[in-house]
Structure 1
């Protein structure tokens, strides 16, 4: 993949939407994060580590 290619569709990147080529590809990437298609490697976090309750 070219360093100047959109990571979603492989078209040339646009400075206004970097590192993507368009708002559509930027939104597709965000939707993948929200849909848990992407993940950061590591052990699962306990629920209290993610959102600690106020005592």
Structure 2
């Protein structure tokens, strides 16, 4: 298998950093996640914190948590 960061061939078995080839590549990948480098393309979602959350439209679902109000 190839390291997803540097594409170096690496063994899966007994590899402490798998699927990466080294700690350096593992930390590079973590940094990319932390800075938002991995994203799904599309329009960002906007959520209005003042807008109430709608009830579940499917009444057949069970286990819903409802407020005590």
Question: Smaller-chain TM-score range?
Answer: 0.5 to 0.7
Deviations 1:10-50 (A, max 9, x none): 112251110000000000000000010002467526375xx
- Whether 1:8 and 2:5 are equivalent positions in the alignment is yes
Of the two, which has the highest radius of gyration? Answer: 2
Take 1:46 and 1:21, find their aligned partners in 2: how far apart are those partners? 39
Q: CA 1:47–1:21 in 2, change beyond 3 Å: closer, same or farther?
A: farther
Take 2:48 and 2:31, find their aligned partners in 1: how far apart are those partners? 23
Matched length: 45
Query: More helix per residue: 1 or 2?
Result: 1
Q: CA 1:16–1:30 in 2, change beyond 3 Å: closer, same or farther?
A: same
Take 2:16 and 2:26, find their aligned partners in 1: how far apart are those partners? 11
